[in-house]
């Protein structure tokens, strides 16, 4: 069978996305690895290659699978409609995060089957049934129409991440030099764990593993790392450093194997504060950057989202990372009910931390989260194109125009000019003009976001 797997591009009015970073489509590479034996599989990354018509005409797939986050729902449904228009006989499958938490959003005539949960072995079985022309009865984690009746088979939990084959990275070879996050280019991705023991109400990731923290064996991770060609590697985990003992063992094995990479991973502030020696160990083997969800500048706001950390934790974590000369990707959240004074206090707080890369997103009620259930009756929009962490889905205290003006100011005023320059100098000189252009482009979109409602 010919199988085409598609990574969708963002919608035109969606802000951010591939304009500011592009990570490799790891989920699709996993799926491809599960079915490539005996089948011809291709990956089309539409963030970089938007010519679906040519790919369909040249490849003529029997099956098309597309992955989707919430922000991609509308785009993906349009893609499937186009695919079915080209050839109604193509079997269409959707999976990914949104399909797992709200599968009903994909119950349309253009989508033959919805996959919920981990899809590698489920997708393999789907393809096997298609080849042998057997029904899909009994496959866990799928939804489809059987006659006029909607079948919903709940997913079976996966507790062992080491059962999965390594991702088929060779299928994204032509795109790999374009995967990046800021100056880290080209950037490979690897999954070493899944899930989180914490219960933040704006996040659904912990629910996907039933609240468990799943982790791969360090030896298995090292084997995969040794096959990655890129200098920079992003750990695509929900939180990489929860198990400090495992991470110490992994660092030792990476060092013993002589693997020389530059790493970018997620770390909670309270985890960092509890394990400062772990940061030093990882710095020695190439840790260059840590994504830290600092979220807010007040404890009352951290409690509101059930973060489980404190402002004191955050400040101490920043000091630990800075003392080890590790770049901080500081992720903050803006509440829609912020006043102008709140924005000013936020700027003052960030300046005090002396951050070179503070990032700000609007508190977003993603479907599947506890927060969504709490506030869904107050939504001012249900347009998934706007669920990009920049647009607000909730009423704002300030007029929308003023809210987005203040949000945009955070990006420019929350760091000193000196920090901005030092951050820019991490880029090759030839890339700085395009960086400035891109910054201005996104800034303009952000200031005009009020027009999208």
Question: Residue 374 — pLDDT band, cuts 50, 70, 90?
Answer: very high
Give the distance, in angstroms, between the CA of residue 11 and the centroid of all CA atoms in the same chain: 16
Distance CA 293, CA 314 (A): 9
DSSP labels for 339-354? Answer: -HHHHHHHHHHHHHHT
Q: How far apart are CA 291 and CA 358, in angstroms?
A: 10
Q: Token pair of 126, please?
A: 């789907």
Residues of the chain with CATH 3.40.50.2300: 2-153
DSSP secondary structure letters along 401-428: HHHHHHHHHHHHHSS-HHHHHHHHTTS-
Going by their DSSP bridges, the two strands 149-153 and 142-146 should be labelled as antiparallel
pLDDT, averaged across the chain: 96
What are the start and end residues of each CATH 3.20.20.70 domain in the chain?
A: 179-334
pTM above 0.85, yes or no: yes
Pairing of strands 113-115, 142-146: antiparallel
Q: What is the mean pLDDT of residues 198-208?
A: 90
Q: pLDDT tens digits for 401-413?
A: 999 999 999 999 9
pLDDT of residue 83: 98
Assigned fold of 179-334:
TIM Barrel (3.20.20)
Cα–Cα distance, 10 to 85 (Å, whole number)? 21
Q: Is the dihedral of CA 28, 10, 96, 240 positive or negative?
A: positive
pLDDT > 90? residue 152: yes
3-state secondary structure of 333: strand
Res 211: pLDDT: 86
Name the band, by pLDDT with cuts 50, 70 and 90, for residue 423.
very high
**SS3 state at 166:** coil
- pLDDT digit string (tens) for 304-353? 999 999 999 999 999 999 999 999 999 999 999 999 999 999 999 999 99
* Residue 130 to residue 306: CA distance in whole angstroms: 45
The predicted pLDDT at position 206 comes to 87
pLDDT of 80 over the 90 cut: yes
pLDDT above 90 for 210: no
pLDDT tens by residue, 26-63: 999 999 999 998 899 999 999 999 999 999 999 999 99
Note the pLDDT of residue 441: 95
Assigned fold of 2-153: Rossmann fold (3.40.50)
Which pLDDT value is given to residue 315?
97
Beta strands 40-45 and 358-362, pairing class: unpaired
Place 93 in a pLDDT band, splitting at 50, 70 and 90: very high
Q: What per-residue confidence (pLDDT) applies to 37? A: 87
């Amino acid at each position: 069978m010919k199988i085409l797997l598609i990574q969708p591009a963002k919608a035109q009015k969606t802000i951010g996305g591939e304009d500011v970073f592009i990570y490799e489509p790891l989920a699709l590479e996993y799926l491809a690895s599960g079915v490539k034996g005996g089948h011809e599989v291709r990956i089309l990354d539409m963030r970089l290659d938007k010519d679906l018509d040519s790919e369909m005409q040249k490849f003529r797939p029997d099956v098309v699978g597309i992955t989707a986050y919430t922000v991609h729902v509308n785009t993906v449904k349009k893609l499937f409609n186009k695919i079915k228009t080209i050839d109604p006989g193509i079997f269409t499958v959707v999976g990914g995060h949104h399909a797992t938490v709200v599968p009903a959003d994909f119950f349309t005539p253009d989508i033959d089957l919805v996959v919920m949960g981990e899809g590698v072995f489920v997708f393999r079985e789907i393809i096997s049934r298609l080849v042998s022309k057997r029904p899909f009865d009994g496959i866990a984690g799928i939804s489809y129409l059987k006659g006029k009746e909607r079948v919903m088979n709940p997913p079976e939990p996966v507790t062992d991440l080491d059962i999965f084959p390594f991702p088929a990275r060779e299928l994204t070879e032509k795109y790999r030099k374009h995967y990046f996050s800021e100056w880290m280019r080209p950037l490979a991705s690897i999954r070493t764990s899944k899930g989180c023991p914490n219960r933040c109400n704006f996040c659904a990731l912990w629910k996907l593993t039933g609240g468990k923290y799943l982790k791969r064996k360090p030896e298995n991770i090292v084997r995969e790392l040794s096959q990655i060609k890129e200098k920079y590697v992003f750990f695509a985990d929900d939180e990489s450093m929860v198990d400090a003992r495992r991470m110490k063992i992994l660092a030792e094995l990476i060092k013993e194997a002589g693997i020389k990479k530059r790493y970018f991973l997620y770390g909670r502030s309270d985890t960092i504060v509890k394990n400062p020696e772990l940061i030093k160990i990882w710095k020695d083997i190439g840790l260059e950057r840590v994504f830290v969800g600092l979220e807010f500048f007040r404890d009352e706001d951290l409690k509101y989202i059930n973060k489980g950390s404190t402002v004191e934790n955050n400040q101490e974590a920043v000091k630990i990372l800075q003392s080890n000369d590790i770049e901080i990707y500081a992720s903050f959240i803006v509440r829609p009910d912020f006043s102008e004074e709140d924005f000013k206090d936020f700027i003052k707080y960030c300046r005090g931390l002396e951050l070179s890369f503070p990032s700000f997103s609007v508190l977003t009620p993603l479907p599947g989260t506890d927060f969504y259930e709490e506030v869904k009756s107050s939504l001012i929009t249900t347009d998934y194109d706007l669920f990009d962490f920049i647009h607000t889905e909730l009423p704002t205290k300030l007029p929308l125009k003023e809210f987005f003006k203040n949000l945009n100011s955070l990006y420019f005023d929350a760091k000193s000019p000196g920090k901005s320059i030092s951050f820019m100098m991490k880029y090759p000189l030839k890339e700085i003009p395009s960086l400035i252009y891109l910054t201005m482009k996104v800034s303009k979109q952000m200031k005009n976001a009020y027009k999208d409602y």
